[in-house]
Amino acid sequence: MSPGALLSARDLRVGFATEGGLLQAVDGVSFDLAAGEVLAIVGESGSGKSVTAQTILGLTRSPNAEIGGSVKLGEVELLDASDAALRKVRGERIGMVFQDPMTSFNPVYRLGSQIVEAIRAHRGDVSKAEGRARAVELLDSVGIPDAERRVDDYPHEFSGGMRQRAMIAMALALEPEVLIADEPTTALDVTIQAQVLRLLEQLNRERGVATILITHDLGVVAEVADRVMVMYAGRVVEEGTLDEIFYDPQHPYTWGLLGSLTRLDRPRPKRLPQISGAPPSLLSLPRGCSFRPRCPHEFGKCEEMPGLEARLPDAPSHCDRCWLSPEQKREKRQVGGRIGLEAPA
Amino acid sequence: MAFEPQPDPALPAGEPDEGFPAAPGGVDAEGHNPWYLAYRRLRRNRLALASLALFGLIVVFVLAAPLWATHVAHTGPNTTHTTEKITVDGEKREVVDVEGKPIGPVWFGAGGRFFLGADGGLGRDEMVRLMYGGRTSLFIGLTSALITTILATILGLLAGYYKGWTDGIITRTLDVIWSFPVVLLGIALGTALAVGGLKIGPLELSGNSIWIPILIIAVVYTPYMARPIRGEVLAMREKEFVESAVAQGAGSLRIMFGELLPNLWSTVIVFFTLNIANNMLLEASLSFLGAGVQAPNSSWGKMVSLGAESIYTSPLLAFAPGILILLTVLSLNVFGDGLRDALDPRSKVRLTRAEAAESAAGGAI
Amino acid sequence: MARFIVRRLAGMVLVLFAVSVLVFAIFNLIPNSPPAQRLAGKNATPTLVKSIEKDWGFDEPLPVQYFETMKKIFTGELISYGDQLNVDERIVEGIPASFSLAIGAAVIWLFFGVLLGFLSATRAGGWLDRAITIGSVAGISIPVFLIATLFLYFLTYKVELFPASGYVPLLENPIQWAYHLLLPWFTLAILNIGFYSRVLRSNMLDVMREDYVRTARAKGLDERRIMIRHVLRNSLIPIITLFGLDFGATLFGGAIITEVIFSLGGVGQYAAESITNLDLPPLMAITIFGAFFVVLFNALTDVVYAYLDPRIRLGSSAQ
């Protein structure tokens, strides 16, 4: 664990027993999250990013799950923590925001009472009235107008964006050190997405909450992240600072993600580029590099799994899993004047 | 494939029993077809297989009735032996004694005759009656379940596919049937029809025909199956494969039976199995009350009601047919559960709906 | 909410009308024998048949016949031709026994059904879950008359723990009332204990997969609170609909066999006697009242359901 890291994962592995065999959803993921930092984990569906996030809080624990490696919050090991110890961390030290605000609140309880429940789970001495006052304050601080009245509304009476704000308010109720936001904007309209992102950014800036942002959308990443980790098929394929990932991406998969971004500052290409093919089944991964079947640049060496290493002499924190040389990468990622993944021949 | 924003598959936490998390996209790694997968799952469910075997044994038991009757018991199900004496292990005994108490089980003491003893008063061979009565019970259960299944599937398809007023009429009609306590409606129909029989056009049934309970049971249970099927059809209608069939100009019949029905098979099969069990229970209840199978026919339910009259002196006469009903229904229910789990291990909607229907149906027995 | 209730009650009236028409059709229109003959019973004299024909208006058009029939049932004019007794009066006499049986059984099945379902779901996959699952499927497979006869033979005859039959009015002697009803209650409840525990188990396993349960866990709530406040609370809502239907059906129609075997003298036993005597007027009345209870309780539970689910409760007032 590097000094100063608040949360640190080492060789995290999560597998699920399925009918078709062991499904390795997360395969050897390591990262450090420093205080006040925003770390984005990016990848397609099935890349293991959500499983990684949920495993930190022990939400993937089940008899069918095989979890290995280490996740430490300060000095506390979370992976083998007892249920009671884990409960103290959940909500209190790590807050979590989920993807779909429509389904993430219990429909039969008033929204305020669900926030009060979160507070009182950890602070038994807080009365219901005090909890309610705190809930009003929280709702107000995430920009919900007329919070005093809305606190007694039911979740279905809130719009999607407001509900996600309320979800963030609930996650922050106990002022946790870490906030994990699992695709917090995916289920929202585009205009609302920007507002919610701005809120997250503001909270990070004002309160210094270290944030892990899980998303499939590099556009979201560009707005708020300090560092970026790109995942594919359960493994990290590239990681670096925001600038390194956006201006000097090393892995063809990252190129593909960047290429499929709609950029408002450039002329819109005739056809939005896509990464061809589908993500591989985690039950039957190809030998070597997992991205090989979809990669137009694959060559003989790709049958061997590349390690996650810093391959650029002047950027020790920028790692990737690709056998191409930095020069080849610089040349091959240029598609029509911008970064992208060319269509296979 | 387009690089579309898709959430990670939400992986379940803390649900040890209900199968495993889906593989991404729900694809089977080896690309087997769903029927094969279901078969493989079923083969692993030992309880379900044992139930199927038990049901098979019961079927063999009732099918062997004529063989047992002619070669072992040497008597028919309705032949009375009131004044007869038989030799049990070398000792002469009356089939029915002077007080009217029938002989109990003699096993093979009389070479297989009166294996389970005789029934009250009339001195009929209980074993032979059990085998023949079981034929009636099973026949009614299977046939009525078949009719229910066909009726409910057609009605559910029509209502779900056409929607609008077709749906309105079908759903409302079924709602009316649904509003009756199952046994009460069965009794009302059973008694009314037992008086004069049934005559609709060329179809004429006498008051004691076993087709009367078959039709009654089939109709009474139709809403409980048609409702969930309609729901599934409604949901499926909006799917792409139906839209594309419509776009290709397929006719309504083609879509209903060519596109929708094949996707209903697993539901239909599970319901059919559970239906047999439910229908046998209803038949037994109606016959017990005298509103089901009418003399000279007999069934397990009717035998229990006869046996219950002498429950304290010859308890076996009520318990034997009762336990056979229990075993048959139990084997079907357990097998049906296994079948459902195998065909659709993660189906939520179907599970609760089927359960709800069963419950609402069964609650009224 | 008020609009919802009005709409629901209007729907109820329509279904009640349809139910009465169907009952009328079953008893008066099924072809192949003159209805008067059927109503009169097996050993009726031609004079009686003639007078019934006139009395019920069987020579009048169908709507008049329907009206006559309903008038008889609902004004207490219906006479059983078998024993010449007033049908509605006999039904009213049977109500205390029938309701005592149904209400007690309902309390038992709801309590044990929910308890077993909850235990089973929260320990899914464990040995207790397996045991409950097998017990439940046995419970729904066992014919009522088998339970009843087993109880009778072993608990009232072999070991004389309980009285074999009879109903003691609650106000006369509450202890004897309960003592006489205990076996019938369990006889009637076993089936539904099985059903309810199965339904609740599967509901709970579904709810456990909901996002809001994951949220509750991520908030740091303890497992007990998650299971009770979030999972159980939301899983019970569908159970209420089910309970309304089942309880309504049990009042007059569901308990017939239990009443007969334990000779409780309730409405169900009256129905059973009428079958044996092929006495149609009582069956007609009991069937119609039985269905009315189902429709009524179904509507009531829909209202309760709406109240318990804020999405429905507030739906109409918010817009």
Interface check for A127 against chain B (CB to CB < 8 A): the answer is no
Judged by CB atoms closer than 8 Å, whether chains meet at C275 and B172 is answered as no
Contacts of A206 (CB under 8 A, 6+ apart): none
Which residues in chain C have Cβ-Cβ distances shorter than 8 Å to B199?
31-32
Gap between the Cα atoms of B211 and B214, Å rounded: 5
Output B319 or C30, whichever has higher pLDDT: B319
Name the residue of chain C whose CA is nearest to A172's CA: C219
pLDDT at position A185? 87
Percentage of chain A modeled with pLDDT above 70: 95
The residue type of C225 is R
Residue with tokens 């099985």: C194
pLDDT in tens, A203-234: 899 988 999 999 988 888 888 899 999 999 99
Which residues in chain A have Cβ-Cβ distances shorter than 8 Å to C207?
none
Judged by CB atoms closer than 8 Å, whether chains meet at B184 and C252 is answered as yes
pLDDT at position B26? 38
Both tokens of C204, joined, read: 């709970």
Q: Which chains contact C through at least 3 pairs of Cβ atoms less than 8 Å apart?
A: A, B
Tell me the longest C-alpha to C-alpha distance in chain B.
89
pLDDT at position B187? 93
**With a cut of 70, which residues of chain C have pLDDT below it?**
31-33, 38, 41-43, 314-319
Gap between the Cα atoms of C6 and B365, Å rounded: 32
Name the residue of chain C whose CA is nearest to B47's CA: C134
pLDDT at position C147? 95
Does the structure show a pLDDT above 60 at B29? no
pLDDT at position B289? 94
Both tokens of B207, joined, read: 């008051």
Gap between the Cα atoms of A176 and A194, Å rounded: 23
Q: How confident is the model at residue A267 (pLDDT cuts 50, 70, 90)?
A: low
Gap between the Cα atoms of C85 and C90, Å rounded: 8
pLDDT at position B345? 62
Does the structure show a pLDDT above 70 at B9? no
Does the structure show a pLDDT above 70 at A273? no
The half-sphere exposure of B200 on its side-chain side, counting CA atoms within 13 A, is 5
Which three-class secondary structure string do you get for C78-139? CECCCCCCEHHHHHHHHHHHHHHHHHHHHHHHHHHHHHHHHHHHHCCCCHHHHHHHHHHHHH
Residue of A17, A50, A257 with shortest CB distance to B20: A17
Q: How confident is the model at residue B365 (pLDDT cuts 50, 70, 90)?
A: very low
Among the ranges given (B116-125, B190-199, C28-37), the one the predictor scored with the smallest mean pLDDT: C28-37
pLDDT at position C33? 65
Interface check for B345 against chain C (CB to CB < 8 A): the answer is no
Does the structure show a pLDDT above 80 at B348? no
Q: In the beta sheet, which residues pair with residue B203?
A: B200
pLDDT at position C31? 53
Q: At what angle do helices C87-122 and C267-276 cross, to 10 degrees?
A: 120
B124: left (phi over 0), alpha (psi -120 to 50) or beta: beta
Q: Which of B222, B192, B186 lies closest to B205 in space, CA to CA? A: B192
pLDDT in tens, B42-93: 988 899 999 999 999 999 999 999 999 999 888 888 888 888 888 888 888 8
Gap between the Cα atoms of C287 and C277, Å rounded: 16
Compute CA distances C126 → A307, C115, C129, whole Å: 42, 16, 5
Judged by CB atoms closer than 8 Å, whether chains meet at A105 and C215 is answered as yes
Gap between the Cα atoms of B329 and B162, Å rounded: 36
Q: At what angle do helices C233-249 and C87-122 cross, to 10 degrees?
A: 160
Mean pLDDT of B307-314: 88
Torsion of the alpha carbons at C65, C70, C73 and C77, rounded to the nearest 10: -60
CA distance A30 to chain C (A): 22
Does the structure show a pLDDT above 70 at B209? yes
Q: Which of A163, A8, A203, A178 lies closest to A92 in space, CA to CA? A: A178
Does the structure show a pLDDT above 50 at B25? no
Q: Which of B201, B343, B189, B160 lies closest to B269 in space, CA to CA? A: B343
pLDDT at position B8? 34
Interface check for B22 against chain C (CB to CB < 8 A): the answer is no
pLDDT at position B133? 94
Name the residue of chain B whose CA is nearest to A19's CA: B20
DSSP B263-319: HHHHHHHHHHHHHHHHHHHHHHHHHHHTSSS-TT---HHHHHHHHHTTTTT-THHHH
Among the ranges given (B36-40, B223-227, C86-90), the one the predictor scored with the smallest mean pLDDT: B36-40
CA angle centred on C186, ends C183 and C190, rounded to 5°: 145
Which residues in chain B have Cβ-Cβ distances shorter than 8 Å to A256?
3
Does the structure show a pLDDT above 50 at B20? no
Percentage of chain A modeled with pLDDT above 90: 64
Taken as a whole, chain C contains a residue count of 319
Is the Cβ–Cβ distance between C42 and C275 less than 8 Å? no
Gap between the Cα atoms of A70 and B358, Å rounded: 48
CA distance B46 to chain C (A): 13
The complex's ipTM? Answer: 0.91
Gap between the Cα atoms of C235 and C213, Å rounded: 12
Compute CA distances C147 → B276, B304, B312, C106, C199, whole Å: 21, 12, 15, 17, 22
> Cβ-count burial of A217 within 10 angstroms (0-12 exposed, 13-18 middle, 19+ buried)?
middle
Is the Cβ–Cβ distance between B330 and C162 less than 8 Å? no
Is the Cβ–Cβ distance between C47 and B204 less than 8 Å? no
pLDDT in tens, A40-58: 999 988 899 999 999 999 9
Name the residue of chain A whose CA is nearest to C211's CA: A104
pLDDT in tens, A298-336: 998 999 999 999 999 889 999 999 999 999 999 999 887
Mean pLDDT (chain A, rounded): 90
Q: Which of A155, A45, A171, A173 lies closest to A101 in space, CA to CA? A: A155
Mean pLDDT of A76-93: 94
- Beta-carbon count within 10 A of C14 CB: 13
Which residues in chain C have Cβ-Cβ distances shorter than 8 Å to A54?
214
Judged by CB atoms closer than 8 Å, whether chains meet at B285 and C146 is answered as no
Which contacts qualify for B236-242: CB closer than 8 Å, 24 or more apart? Answer: B236/B160, B236/B260, B236/B263, B237/B160, B237/B161
Q: At what angle do helices C174-208 and C144-151 cross, to 10 degrees?
A: 140
